[in-house]
Structure 1
Amino acid sequence: MENYTYNSFTLQLEGLNVSEDSIYPVFLFLFFSYLFIMVANVGIALLIFTDKSLHQPMYLLFCNLPFNDILGNSIMVPRLLSDILLPPSERLISYYECVVQAFTTHMFGTTTHTVLMIMAFDRYVAICNPLRYAAIMTNKMVIKLTVSAWGVAFVLVGILLGLTIRLNRCRTLITNPYCDNASLFKLSCESVFINNVYGLTFTVVLFTASIGTMVLTYTKITVVCLTNKSKSLNNKALRTCSTHLVVYMIMLFSGMSNITLHRFPQYSDYRKLCSILFHIIPGSLNPIIYGVQSKEIRKFLSKFFKTKKVLPSLES
């Protein structure tokens, strides 16, 4: 379909290059990964909203991550599953659907950064200003931080895709398993200098702000823990901050690997795999990490399963 027609509204996805023997194992892996992501993230979000003891700023801010994981994977994985079962020539997608998929994909990555940044601020206030925590982290502040995280991501990604959809297209092949901004502007035969400059600036600013926020907040948290001899404070800091940092490092490593492999065309198959894992790995691990590390969530789950065990015995 390459150079099929000028400004075609029907595009072809290259998809994953898997052998015939690997199609069904890959399909099953993606299917069960997606199923787990949906069940785990919906479950933990419902748990936080229904259990009043979890109506704390830390958990309410964390709820942004499950919602983001659900949204990001729901746009990408089902489409990928259907394409795997089709021959390459039949993996067609409309231009508008491709733009929506690209927008959602970049929103997923950007919002993950901004949400983890506001969660770092919450941890900083809780540990460095515990007496003022309730006054600072009010419901109004939680709403402001949430709107800011999603609003900043929406504006940045909106400009990114806006610069791309202005371009005329002379190609129709998306050399990726799913649509993203780079794949879209590569369809154009016009100059994409502005797109490359904004894309690079976008990435540098986002990563600098994200990493800078983590370094600054955790440096101050470390100083407070070292100067304060309170064992309970240090245990609380270790428990909550280690969870946040593990989630951040998983997301950062996945994102950096994907960006790095974009610079090496000879590793395109690894890049494709990494771009898929960028969605699946954080979406799968986030609810597990927070579920295991959170004392409140563990308590709720233990009560829930104890109730489930008691009910059958009562019935018998």
Structure 2
Amino acid sequence: MKGENVTIWTSFVLEGFSRYPKLELALFVFSLVMYLITLLGNSTLILITVLDSRLHTPMYWFLGNLSFMDICYTSASIPTLLVNLLSSQKTITFSGCAVQMYLSLAMGSTECVLLAVMAYDRYVAICNPLRYPSIMNRQVCVQMASVSWVTGCLTALLETSFALQVPVCGNVVDHFTCEILAVLKLACTSSLLLDLVMLVISVLLLPIPMLLICVSYVFILSTILRISSAEGRSKAFSTCGAHLTVVILYYGAALSMYLKPSSSNSQEIDKIISLLYGVLTPMLNPMIYSLRNKEVKDGMKKLLGNIPLYQTHENLLTGCLLPGMGS
């Protein structure tokens, strides 16, 4: 169907990594393993925070939201990537492309705001510990998480709506997902309004939250250095270390993608960064938060203790270690 020499496409071709056919099988295995670990790790973390009453705190409430977002974010693009890596026809419908674009933008944008909210939570916990229960009460936590979700979803809706109205002169997207910047490279004409909207939203969701996080951690670091006991400083650092690691991973990849000069990197590098950003970071998040966190480890043991197979294994292991107890 044509009008004014512009074709209205009903589907798109996701080129992905088709230029490297010998790598597609390896990429399929890598992506599948990372995706399954992401689902398992984040689902387990959500389950622990729900079932263990000791983890019903603001930090773990926000962490549960973060894990849910990571599941949604990876599920928006990775299943399509896995299918396309094994398929000769790497197509996606226009509506599927629109949904994929929206979900990726919504989850990514929400995470930007939520990470800033989590930094504020750590700031209050360390800099105002006596007032922490009253400041970060349940109502405030729900409101802050809701603001994160609403902000992310509305900005994504705005960007996606404008992007889908731009006429395109092709349907081959040089990416493994309907990433907005890759789709807009097919545009027949540039849109000043869309460029302005994307610039404003990028500044709103990347540098501003990053600045708020940096300011929060300046106050946090200042407070930690004034703690007299080494044990107290170590506990405070471990509390913030996981969040800071996630922030560096997330914003490092996001800033390199969305705030770089358009001619600085090739599209192939963009695809690799997107794959790491979309698979590796969500997979690492639950590991980062649980490896050095005693509360999460205890919650994990409590959860596993309720599984009959695990109980049998523990009983057998105990019997092997203490053989004399049976006599």
Structure-1-length-normalised TM-score: 0.91
Q: CA deviation at 1:94?
A: 1.0
Post-superposition offset of 1:5: 6.7
| In 1, Cα distance between equivalents of 2:24 and 2:154 | 38
Q: 1:271 to 1:51 in 2, by over 3 A?
A: same
Work out the CA distance in 1 between the residues paired with 2:91 and 2:261.
23
State the 1:13 CA deviation. 1.4
Change (3 A) 1:202 1:270: same
SS in 2 for 1:130: coil
> CA offsets per residue over residues 244-292 of structure 1, 9 Å max, x none?
1001001112212333677237622121111111111111110001011
Q: Verify the 8 A CA contact 2:11 2:92 in the aligned structure 1.
A: yes
Rounded Cα–Cα distance in structure 1 between residues aligned with 2:6 and 2:193: 25
Match of 2:87 in 1: 86
1:256 is aligned to 2:248 = no
- Mapped to 1, the partners of 2:28 and 2:9 lie a distance apart of 30
1:23-38 equivalences under 5 Å are 23-38=24-39
Separation of aligned partners in 1, 2:160 and 2:42: 28
- Residue 119 of structure 1 aligns to which amino acid in structure 2? M
What do the CA deviations read for 1:227-258 (whole angstroms, capped 9, x no partner)? 34254542332011111100100111221233
Quick one: structure 1 residues 260 and 137, their matched pair in 2 at CA, closer, same or farther if it must change by over 3 Å? closer
- Pair 174,62 (structure 1): closer, same or farther in 2 beyond 3 Å: same
Deviation at 1:314, TM superposition (A): 8.2
- Partner residue in 2 for 1:58: 59
Structure-2 change in CA distance of 1:165 and 1:276 (3 Å): same
Secondary structure in 1 matching 2:175: coil
Residue 100 of structure 1 is matched in structure 2 by 99
Match of 1:116?
Answer: 115
Aligned partners of 1:95, 1:131: CA distance in 2, in Å? 53
What is the match of residue 271 of structure 1? 270
Q: Which residue of 2 aligns with 1:244?
A: 243
Give how far 1:14 is off. 1.3
**Residue of structure 1 in register with 2:192 after alignment:** 193
The alignment partner of 1:11 has SS state of strand
Query: Percent same amino acid among aligned pairs?
Result: 26
Contact 2:18 2:24 in 1 (8 A): no
Range 179-188 or range 96-105, more displaced: 179-188
Q: Deviations over 1:82-111 (max 9, x none)?
A: 111122xx2111111101101111122212
* 2-structure distance, mates of 1:35, 1:44: 14
Q: Which residue in 2 is equivalent to 1:310?
A: 314
Q: Which residue of 2 aligns with 1:75?
A: 76
Q: Evaluate the alpha carbon distance shift between residue 234 and residue 265 of structure 1 in structure 2; reply closer, same or farther with a 3 A threshold.
A: closer
Asked whether the 8 Å contact 2:224–2:237 carries over to 1, the reply is no
- In 1: Cα distance, 2:129 partner to 2:240 partner: 15
Larger-gyration structure (1/2): 2
- CA-CA distance at 1:299 after TM superposition: 2.1
- Gap runs ≥5 in structure 2: 321-327
SS across alignment from 1:131: coil
> How far 1:310 sits from its partner (Å)?
2.7
**Structure 1 portions without partners, runs of 5+:** none
- Superposed CA deviations along residues 138-157 of structure 1, whole A, max 9, x for unmatched, are 11111001101111111211
Q: How has the CA–CA distance of structure 1 residues 38 and 161 changed in structure 2, closer, same or farther, with 3 Å as cutoff?
A: same
Please tell me the residue identity of whatever aligns with 1:72: Y
Q: Is the 8 A contact 1:261 1:270 kept in 2?
A: no
Residues paired across the two proteins, number: 312
For residues 59 and 231 of structure 2, the distance between their equivalents in structure 1, rounded to whole angstroms, comes to: 18
SS at match of 2:115: helix
- 1:22 offset after TM fit, Å? 2.1
In structure 2, the residue corresponding to 1:22 is in which secondary structure?
A: helix
State the 1:73 CA deviation. 0.6
Structure-2 change in CA distance of 1:213 and 1:7 (3 Å): same
Instruction: Give the secondary structure class of the aligned counterpart of 1:12.
Output: strand
Aligned partner letter, 1:8: W
Distance 1:211 1:260, change over 3 A: closer
TM-score calculated relative to the size of structure 2: 0.88
Q: RMSD of aligned C-alpha atoms?
A: 2.4
Shift of 1:48: 0.8
For the residue of structure 2 that corresponds to 1:188, the secondary structure is coil
The corresponding residue for 2:147 is: 148
Match of 1:180 in 2: 179
Bigger CA drift: 190-199 or 296-305?
296-305
Please name the residue that 1:214 is paired with. 213
Contact 1:12 1:173 (8 Å CA) reproduced: yes
- Shift in Å at residue 178 of structure 1? 0.6
